[in-house]
Structure 1
Amino acid sequence: MYYENAQAAYSAGNFPNAKRNFLLAAETMYKLAKMSTGNLQKSRMDRAKRLIEMAENIGKKPIPKVKGPEPSEKEEDTGKQWETAEIPNISFDDIAGLEDVKKAITLRMIYPLKYPDKYKTYNKKTGGGVLLYGPPGTGKTMIAKAIAYEVNAKFYTVKCSDVISKWVGDSEKNINSLFETAKKDDLAIIFFDELDGLFGTRGKDIHNDKRVGEFLQQIDGFSGRSTNLLILGATNRPWDVDKAALRPGRFSQSIYVPLPDEKAREFLFRKSLEGVPLKDVNIEDLISLTEGYSGADIDELCDRAKEQPLIDSIKHDSIINITMQDFKYALKAVRPSVDKESLKEYEKYINNLG
């Protein structure tokens, strides 16, 4: 479309409009190239470069036709080409606290793979995905990666930008391609980050409705036939997830991932400060001062406290210790990212589930 518009504008002598459309066509071709591999990726990159050259040369010399098929923004495509996933190197030992969460996940997702005979003996239900929900910065993605590590599974992370397309039907193709790629692995986990954006409540947007429908069809299809796929999701807004996604066989179990308690905060501080030069830093005081902080908040707090000693160390070419004063300055800059009203929303949601 952009390419045809550019050619038409050029023929009409409207050079500014032609240049803009050539650049838009080049941008679209770059996006298609990123979703491709091999010769198709190289071809699309070359076309994008030629389109930029054409845009820059408008008014200077005649615009040639692009060799080969027209650089349509909608070339033949069976969906996004998903890169081969890796097994993460994060284990449950790397995650602070959350013992109840770890226990629930172990029983639901890890033990069925490690001890299938035991589950058969007790006729314990298996199957279905798990939804991790809770405030931002509480380690939901780390937990998902740790599950993949524990069962030695390839880990596919899926976000809205990986799937959603402005082209009609392309989101569904990307979803189908994702599942087909993951099914080829001996064992794989598909992790849907920001699940509310991918499985939004239906009835408001036709594109969202089609996307959610395709996701549910794919999940229903693999849950009955494939034993090598596990489904995980994470969201900060569980109330915005379409209710059909939470039915048995899909995201069958929802697990709340709370803010770190005192024991978890101690773990986070000791991990972040391990091997770092300290003087008179009281971990117990830091724990009491950071009630309501998320794991991400504590990580940022420690990083801020290291800044001035690092600068002084460089300036004086000597080792400068981090002190409680550095943490007091950092505490003024780094406040809890999760407010009390948000926590009440989670309490309300949990009560409604019960």
Structure 2
Amino acid sequence: MLDDAGLQALREAARLSPDNLPLRRHLADQLLAKGYLAEAEAEYRAALVLAPKDPEIAAGLAEAFVRQSAHGQALAVLEPFLSIPGHAPRLGVIAARALLGEGDAHGAARRYHEAVSRDPSVADADLAARLTPQPIAPTGPSAAPGSSWGAPGPSWGAPGAPAGGATWGGQGGPAQQPAEGPGGSQVERSAVSFSDVAGMEAVKEALRVKLLLPIQQPELFKAFGKRAGGGVLLYGPPGAGKTHLARAAAGELGAAFVSVGLSDILDMYIGSSERNLRAVFDLARRNRPCVLFFDEVDALAARRSDMRQAHNRQLVNQFLAELDGVDQHANEGVLVLAATNAPWYIDVAFRRPGRFDQLVFVPPPDHAARAAILRILCRDKPLAEMDFDAVARVTELFAGADLKGVVDRAVEAKLHQSISAGRAIPLSTPDLLAAAQAVKPAAVREWLGTARNYVMHANDSGAWDELMPWIKQVR
């Protein structure tokens, strides 16, 4: 419910005059400016129906998506406009923010520098500070094939990319040498397990019952007609540990692990993306038991009703077909995990039984979990007497990634002291408290603010009921 009388009047005017494009666009712009992101998204969608080729409306919708951490959706909106020569530089800056959110720093830098070179007024100091300086990639015939919205960067699951082990929940350790992998995806053996994940007992138990126990106790599950396999959709704020949980599930089972990123699937040539998707499922089936993990799955499984291009809808259809398998035993032993920050954008067909029929909320860590995460992160460092509970008390709504940032900042400060002293000075509680005061995490609070819109206004099915206790923390 809008609490702004001016916006309420504009919305009522738009309701009475639904085809008034300038009015609807003005309403969407005002909603976006005042932070009503879900409402702004709805108005921009309605405006885009009236003017599907308007780049400013597309920019507003993409901006609303980016601010809701729906980076894949933002890129899908921008793609047809970015392919037009001489497109508005503002579109390039928004695309850069979305690409950075997807983990493609190279593509983001290319987009940003190209946009600013054409119009310096669109420069974004905060975005520029987050981008590693990169040479602008070549365009035209000499450019390497890749996505039409950014130059190809390091593949998330490709050789040379970080192994992506314990980012905050434990000692990752070196993974075994990846095996074969079409499309850039690799078969790994995870070096972490649930013991390396602090807290999240309810989440771990859900994964055990749904994914692990059918393989660990096959006779018992067979007696009840349950087979090993299926899908779980992990969702929650950025940095809460969804990827780490997926690796830990594979390590707990001793199964193969295949991590799939957007760059492993998406291809500019029609039909290639579907072939890449089929290839990673075939790879998982050949290495069963296998945990097949899709990160940022909302970009591959978006609502078909939102898509304007037939080949994007065909990719969703292919994904659904692979989840079903050619017969009832095709995916037996293949445990499909997916993670997203924006579950509300995923096509409802993916939540049908036998697909991603279980949604598991990965919350930001509570007090006890924060203390445990800090203890794990500090266990291999020289320590004085530590009070991790005291640090946990001042880090409410810090995600696991934020806590790692606190420890990293404290360690850097302590290293400078140790270098000056000529000896190792142990890390202490005041060091962590000082670092925590310097870190101002916003990702969890912003995500909960977005989730609040869906829980309060788009929850007729009750799918988001479990978020209710969390959104009450948003003021």
Q: Is it true that 1:285 corresponds to 2:390 in the alignment? A: yes
Q: Is it true that 1:23 corresponds to 2:142 in the alignment? A: yes
Q: Cα deviations across residues 296-336 of structure 1 (Å, max 9, x unaligned)?
A: 11111011011121012123321223334433431233122
- In the alignment, is the contact (CA less than 8 A) between 1:97 and 1:264 conserved in 2? yes
1:215 aligns to what? 319
- In the alignment, is the contact (CA less than 8 A) between 2:214 and 2:221 conserved in 1? yes
Q: Cα deviations across residues 61-107 of structure 1 (Å, max 9, x unaligned)?
A: xxxxxxxxxxxxxxxxxx95445401211100000111111111111
Describe the shift of the 1:123–1:167 C-alpha distance in structure 2 as closer, same or farther (beyond 3 A): closer
CA distance in 2 between partners of 1:297 and 1:129 (Å): 28
CA distance in 2 between partners of 1:87 and 1:323 (Å): 35
CA distance in 2 between partners of 1:281 and 1:181 (Å): 46
Q: Which amino acid aligns with 2:256?
A: K
TM-score with structure 1 setting the length = 0.74
- How far off is 1:28 after superposition? 3.4
Describe the shift of the 1:290–1:173 C-alpha distance in structure 2 as closer, same or farther (beyond 3 A): same
Q: Which amino acid aligns with 2:381?
A: V
2:246 aligns to what? 144
| Secondary structure at 2:417 match in 1 | helix
Q: Is it true that 1:205 corresponds to 2:308 in the alignment? A: yes
- In the alignment, is the contact (CA less than 8 A) between 1:134 and 1:346 conserved in 2? no
- In the alignment, is the contact (CA less than 8 A) between 2:371 and 2:392 conserved in 1? yes
Deviates further, 120-129 or 200-209: 120-129
Describe the shift of the 1:22–1:127 C-alpha distance in structure 2 as closer, same or farther (beyond 3 A): closer
Q: Cα deviations across residues 174-194 of structure 1 (Å, max 9, x unaligned)?
A: 112212222211322211100
The one of 193, 201, 215 aligned to 2:295: 193
Gap regions ≥5 residues in structure 1: 1-18, 38-78
- How far off is 1:135 after superposition? 0.8
Gap regions ≥5 residues in structure 2: 1-137, 159-180, 466-475
**Relative contact order, CA 8 A, sep 6+: which one is greater?**
1
TM-score with structure 2 setting the length = 0.56
Q: Cα deviations across residues 194-220 of structure 1 (Å, max 9, x unaligned)?
A: 011111111223232111111111111
Deviates further, 80-89 or 189-198: 80-89
- How far off is 1:142 after superposition? 1.2
Q: Which amino acid aligns with 1:326?
A: D
Q: Which amino acid aligns with 2:308?
A: D
| Secondary structure at 1:86 match in 2 | strand
CA distance in 2 between partners of 1:106 and 1:280 (Å): 36
Q: State the number of aligned residues.
A: 289
Describe the shift of the 1:275–1:121 C-alpha distance in structure 2 as closer, same or farther (beyond 3 A): same
Describe the shift of the 1:276–1:341 C-alpha distance in structure 2 as closer, same or farther (beyond 3 A): closer
- In the alignment, is the contact (CA less than 8 A) between 2:293 and 2:336 conserved in 1? yes
| Secondary structure at 2:145 match in 1 | helix
CA distance in 1 between partners of 2:140 and 2:203 (Å): 52
Q: Which amino acid aligns with 1:249?
A: G
